[in-house]
Amino acid sequence: MLEIKDLICGYDSKFFLKDINLRIEAGELVGIIGPNGSGKTTLLRAITRVLKPKKGTILFEKKDIWQMGYKELAKRIAVVPQDFAGVGMSVEEFVLLGRIPHFERYQFLETKKDLEIAKRCMALTDTTKFKNQLIQELSGGERQLVVIARALTQEPMLLLLDEPTSHLDITHQVGILDLIKRLNKEFGLTVIMVLHELNLASEYCQRLVLINEGRIHKIGQPQEVLEYRIIEEVYKTLVVVEKNPISSKPYILIVPEEERQKERKNGTKRIDSNLYRRW
Amino acid sequence: MRRKIVLPVSLTIASLLGICAIAFYFLLKLPNNSARKVELSPCPQRIISLGPSITKGLYLLGVEDKLIANTIYCIEPPEAKKKEKIGTVIKINIEKIFNLKPDIVFATSLTDPKAKEKLKNLGIKVITFSTPRDFSSICEQFLELGKLVGKEKEARKIVKSAENKATSIKKKTENLNKPKVLVQVGAKPLFVATGRYFVNDYIEFAGGVNIAKEAGEGIYSREQVLKANPDIIIITTMGIVGEDEKRTWKKYKTLEAVKNGQIYIIDTDKITSPTPQSFVNTLEEFIHILHPEIK
Amino acid sequence: MRRKIIHWTICTLVLFCLLLGVTVFSLCVGSVDMSLEKILRVILEGKDTTEHSILFDIRLPRIILGFAVGGALSLAGVILQGMFRNPLVEPYTLGISGGAALGVCLNIVLGLNLVLGVFSIPFSGFLGAILVILVVYSLSMKRGILRIQGLLLTGVMISFIASSLIMLVMAISRVEDLHGIIFWIMGSLEEPNWFLIRVAVLVSILGLIISYLFCLSLNAFSLGEEQALHLGINIEGTKRLLFILASLLTGCSVSVAGIIGFIGLVVPHFVRMFVGGDHRILLISSFICGATFLIFCDTLARTIISPLELPVGVITGILGGSLFVYALSKKQVVLG
């Protein structure tokens, strides 16, 4: 569905992303992970046409996205952004904005069909109850749901999310990621999301793309990518990787400095780690 | 990149072309406009004055009964205050003027040009008198005013007598020594009467030298005043401001004017809005200041 | 949806009635008060009466110009505030008025208006405005991207430069010219020339129509540029077009009517409080509301201390400002 070929892309003079090659098939749920400033969001911005690549192409359904019309692209790719704007609108108005790419040239009002789709998307995300509230009155988690509802209203084939769970408590983190998973399973929506939280990425994504310093470091299933050697190399932190006893997905434990020193003093070799050995 | 500048550039070119076309249109229309105002009916019966000096002049010419309205600034002679008011010297009420159905409106260069244009469009004759630059243009304008209201003879008489007086004063002062004079018209910024303003003639006729004669439009620095060192300073701003200014000057102890206590305040009304007659009257006051020995 | 459409229709109708009411009020009052009945009689009967002239040659042109200028300025305000997502932006912050004022200043001081006629003044104003627009535009353009914040800062700086230049020109100009400049800066709806009035009306109505084509884009812009792009808006093209449109609207109003402040800032806010932030209704109701407001203010300006006439900017400032502060204290304002 999405194919990125030899992408070089960046802001102004700095080339941030180098030699990115990536293929994403329809129906996949892919997570992009990496340290801060590694270029995750930049990659997302390249896919959504905010940044023009210096070199390379991004093909969506075998068509270069820069050859597509603005609306054409917006009908296919929807984005749930990291920052939030849109103060002063009711939730319903906000969700209806997602229908803009589907409007005809001189159409100013929503049709019945538009309203129905918006209604369905709100029901799907369980936001119908906020319908008439102002957007700024909602809590962070509720807002995130509303933004997802808006993105769904665009009826996209590909949904991009930029850290959908940052600043949320675990109830909302799980709630939102469950919803995304469900959308992916039931409606066959292809999803690419940037995630900070490695454990969440591990639990929910079929495939992970680890980016470091503007290059793809590793692509693969969670158990392939989330290996302690790789994580320690990229994140430069000591970690312990265990298995979730229920889902049998890898999860990552951190070791504070104090414990590390204790461990070293006692001489017990309980941590099998590159970094540990080096110290 | 090249394509992206096409929009603004083409828009600019389009608007420039538009402006040229419109300007051209008005250029072609212009002669009509100026041709209209020449023909005059013999003797206007309903006159509106938009300037204090014009009002004064009309009273002087004895046509006050034909003056139907003036501005709130027209306070001389005192009877002029009782006339209908149509606004200030600069902002006038067109509707009211039109409703009074004047035969002629005398405007000054201070009147809003758009308002004048509007009155002309409404078919009202508007004559504009510009601010006089010297005594002779005061006389000229007065004669013109006299002609327009059908009192040419009277106007000539008044101008003649004023001119005679002025020449006799000039003769008297010709051979006296000439004190250096500064006439201050405004404070902050310091604004003085220069050679382009009729006030200059007060100084020269009264046998003085205007130190600011060549000072362009009138903004002047105190430094220059100290350098030129006038013997006499005349302040024409009224009330508190005048006293304030007097105090300010007194700080400069090296000035001749300060040493000899030669700083005077003259009522602004006497200096501005001149008629030939009031010019001569004010000139006599200047003589008192500059050459008190002449009686 | 139907409820929204009904709500919008009612809003528009109410505002329209208000506009009509103010227009009639403005026609009625003045140094010669006329009743509605008398106005009708004058319209039907007398072509050559004084009353007819007062109505159609003095009052009506002012009302029509007030409609055009008030509408255009508040429309430009809505567009710019929507585009910049900054509630403090108004047509004058971009330096357009400064440029126009400088153009007029130079015209008066160089005596061009004596050679080319009084009508050259609005054109030199327009020329100044266009020049400033181009400078601001090209300075904020970087690699094909119009940087919104840069635009704002450049605009503010240019307007400072322009006002300093104006002061320079005023300092070295003749006293008589000074008055001409001050008149123009004070702003007035008195315009002797019907042609200019027609141009102003045409421009403002065209502006309304064109901007309305972009109402959904403006709605999307309220989410931020990047998200607007995600919604399929050609943001660069839209920004450029809207900026030029708002500039032309402002330039045109300023060059005909001088600097009449406050409308472009206050009216959009005020309207937003009542009809909400949806540009589909905001554009049209701001236009009508701005027109109504300016006509009303001008009527007050010419009658309140008759026969003296106040500069209309005085009334728009005092009335608009105090109304706004009052509304602000009553209702929570929604910005953006």
What whole-number distance in Å separates Cα of residue A11 and Cα of residue A102?
Answer: 31
**A111-117: long-range contacts at Cβ-Cβ below 8 A with a sequence spacing of 24 or more?**
A112/C1, A115/C1, A117/A153, A117/A155
Please tell me if residue A257 touches chain C, with a CB cutoff of 8 Å. Answer: no
| N residues, chain C | 336
If you measure CA to CA, which chain C residue comes closest to B27?
C116
Helix axes C279-303, C194-213, angle to 10 degrees: 160
Please tell me if residue A68 touches chain C, with a CB cutoff of 8 Å. Answer: no
- Beta carbons of B99 and C54 less than 8 Å apart: yes
| Residue range C276-301, pLDDT digits in tens | 888 999 999 999 999 999 999 999 98
Coil, helix or strand at residue B207: coil
What whole-number distance in Å separates Cα of residue A254 and Cα of residue A215?
Answer: 25
Indicate the pTM of the whole model.
0.83
Q: What is the pLDDT of residue B13?
A: 60
If you measure CA to CA, which chain B residue comes closest to C27?
B95
If you measure CA to CA, which chain C residue comes closest to A153?
C231
Residue B55 token pair: 């009002």
Q: Which residues of chain A does C331 touch, with a Cβ-Cβ cutoff of 8 Å?
A: none
Q: Which residues of chain B does C193 touch, with a Cβ-Cβ cutoff of 8 Å?
A: 117
Local confidence band at B1 (pLDDT 50, 70, 90 cut-offs): very low
Helices and strands (DSSP H and E) totals, chain B: 12, 10
> Given B22, B33, B131, which is nearest C176 (Cβ)?
B131
Please tell me if residue C116 touches chain B, with a CB cutoff of 8 Å. Answer: yes
Residue carrying structure tokens 């007060």: B202
The whole-angstrom distance between residue A198's C-alpha and the CA centroid of its chain comes to 12
> Given B27, B98, B196, which is nearest C116 (Cβ)?
B27
> Given A72, A78, A89, which is nearest C230 (Cβ)?
A78
- Beta carbons of A81 and C276 less than 8 Å apart: no
Q: For chain C, list residues with pLDDT below 70.
A: 1, 118, 175-176, 331-336
Residue B158 token pair: 């008044």
Q: Which residues of chain B does C183 touch, with a Cβ-Cβ cutoff of 8 Å?
A: 90, 112-114
| Residue range B117-152, pLDDT digits in tens | 888 888 899 999 888 888 888 999 999 999 998 888
Q: Which residues of chain C does A106 touch, with a Cβ-Cβ cutoff of 8 Å?
A: 213
What whole-number distance in Å separates Cα of residue A227 and Cα of residue A245?
Answer: 17
Helix axes C235-257, B6-36, angle to 10 degrees: 10
Establish whether chain B is in contact with chain A, requiring a minimum of 3 CB pairs below 8 angstroms. no
Nearest Cα neighbor of C91 from C220, C226, C195, C244 is C244
Nearest Cα neighbor of B222 from B182, B263, B180, B178 is B182
Q: What is the mean pLDDT of residues B155-179?
A: 87
Q: Which residue has the higher pLDDT, B114 or A275?
A: B114
Q: Most B CBs within 10 Å: which of C118, C168, C179, C184, as the mutation test of the B interface?
A: C179
- For residue C160, the distance in angstroms to the closest alpha carbon of chain B comes to 21
| Residue range B214-261, pLDDT digits in tens | 877 777 888 888 888 888 888 887 656 777 788 888 888 888 888 888
Please tell me if residue C118 touches chain B, with a CB cutoff of 8 Å. Answer: yes
Residue A269 has pLDDT above 70, yes or no: no
Please list the residues that pair with A216 across neighbouring strands. A211
- Beta carbons of C227 and A85 less than 8 Å apart: yes
Q: What is the mean pLDDT of residues A130-156?
A: 90
Q: What DSSP string describes C182-201?
A: HHHHH-------HHHHHHHH
> Given C53, C59, C190, which is nearest B114 (Cβ)?
C190
ipTM for the predicted complex: 0.86
- Beta carbons of C54 and B217 less than 8 Å apart: no
The interface residues of chain C toward chain B in range 61-100, judged by CB-CB distance below 8 A, are none
- Beta carbons of A79 and C234 less than 8 Å apart: no
Q: Which residues of chain B does C141 touch, with a Cβ-Cβ cutoff of 8 Å?
A: 4
> Given B15, B94, B130, which is nearest C58 (Cβ)?
B94
What whole-number distance in Å separates Cα of residue C217 and Cα of residue C219?
Answer: 5
- Beta carbons of A108 and C280 less than 8 Å apart: yes
Q: What DSSP string describes B28-42?
A: HHHHHHHHHTS---S
If you measure CA to CA, which chain C residue comes closest to A81?
C227
Q: What is the pLDDT of residue C192?
A: 81
Q: What is the pLDDT of residue A270?
A: 67
Query: Are A58 and A64 in contact, with CB atoms under 8 Å apart?
Result: yes
Please tell me if residue A48 touches chain C, with a CB cutoff of 8 Å. Answer: yes
Please tell me if residue A273 touches chain C, with a CB cutoff of 8 Å. Answer: no
Strands A215-220 and A55-60: unpaired
If you measure CA to CA, which chain A residue comes closest to C281?
A108
Distances (CA, A) of C150 to A45, C155, C240: 22, 8, 14
| Residue range B175-210, pLDDT digits in tens | 888 888 988 887 777 788 888 888 888 888 888 888
Q: What is the pLDDT of residue B3?
A: 47
- Beta carbons of C50 and B115 less than 8 Å apart: no
Q: What is the mean pLDDT of residues B261-281?
A: 83
The whole-angstrom distance between residue A126's C-alpha and the CA centroid of its chain comes to 21
Nearest Cα neighbor of B95 from C201, C118, C190 is C190
Residue C314 parent element (H or E): helix C312-330
If you measure CA to CA, which chain C residue comes closest to B23?
C120
**A218-227: long-range contacts at Cβ-Cβ below 8 A with a sequence spacing of 24 or more?**
A219/A22, A222/A249, A222/A250, A223/A249, A223/A250, A225/A33, A226/A198, A226/A202, A226/A250, A226/A252
What whole-number distance in Å separates Cα of residue A58 and Cα of residue C108?
Answer: 58
Please tell me if residue C234 touches chain A, with a CB cutoff of 8 Å. Answer: yes
What whole-number distance in Å separates Cα of residue B112 and Cα of residue B109?
Answer: 8
Residue A218 parent element (H or E): strand A215-220
- Beta carbons of A86 and C223 less than 8 Å apart: yes
If you measure CA to CA, which chain A residue comes closest to C212?
A108
The interface residues of chain A toward chain C in range 166-195, judged by CB-CB distance below 8 A, are none
Q: Most C CBs within 10 Å: which of B26, B95, B196, as the mutation test of the C interface?
A: B95
Distances (CA, A) of A152 to A47, A76, A87, B78: 18, 10, 20, 82
> Given A45, A97, A112, which is nearest C220 (Cβ)?
A97
Q: What DSSP string describes A237-271?
A: S-EEEEE-TTT--EEEEE--HHHHHHHHHHT----
Helix axes A140-153, A112-124, angle to 10 degrees: 140
Q: Could you tell me where the DSSP H helices lie in B37-101? A: 52-60, 94-99
| Residue range A208-229, pLDDT digits in tens | 999 998 899 999 999 999 988 8
Q: What is the mean pLDDT of residues A123-150?
A: 90
Query: Are C256 and C242 in contact, with CB atoms under 8 Å apart?
Result: no
Query: Are B165 and B280 in contact, with CB atoms under 8 Å apart?
Result: yes
Helix axes C96-110, C148-171, angle to 10 degrees: 20
Q: What is the pLDDT of residue B227?
A: 84
Please tell me if residue C115 touches chain B, with a CB cutoff of 8 Å. Answer: no
| Residue range A161-213, pLDDT digits in tens | 999 988 889 999 999 999 999 999 999 999 999 998 999 999 999 999 999 98
Q: Which residues of chain C does B91 touch, with a Cβ-Cβ cutoff of 8 Å?
A: 308-309, 311
Biggest CA-to-CA distance, chain B: 83
| Residue range C241-274, pLDDT digits in tens | 998 899 889 988 988 888 888 898 889 988 988 8
- Beta carbons of C144 and B1 less than 8 Å apart: yes
Q: What is the pLDDT of residue C119?
A: 73
Neighbours of chain C (3+ CB pairs under 8 A): A, B
Q: Which residues of chain C does A73 touch, with a Cβ-Cβ cutoff of 8 Å?
A: 232
Q: What region does C262 belong to: left with phi over 0, alpha with psi -120 to 50, or beta? A: left
Q: Which residues of chain A does C224 touch, with a Cβ-Cβ cutoff of 8 Å?
A: 81, 83, 85
Distances (CA, A) of B65 to B44, B46, B73, B79, B273: 12, 9, 19, 11, 21
Please tell me if residue C8 touches chain B, with a CB cutoff of 8 Å. Answer: no
Please tell me if residue C6 touches chain A, with a CB cutoff of 8 Å. Answer: no
| Residue range B17-46, pLDDT digits in tens | 565 555 555 544 444 444 344 445 568 889
Nearest Cα neighbor of B76 from B289, B271, B287, B286 is B271
Please tell me if residue C213 touches chain A, with a CB cutoff of 8 Å. Answer: yes
| Residue range A5-61, pLDDT digits in tens | 998 888 766 668 888 999 999 999 999 999 988 888 889 989 988 888 888 999 998
Q: CA Rg, chain B, in Å?
A: 24
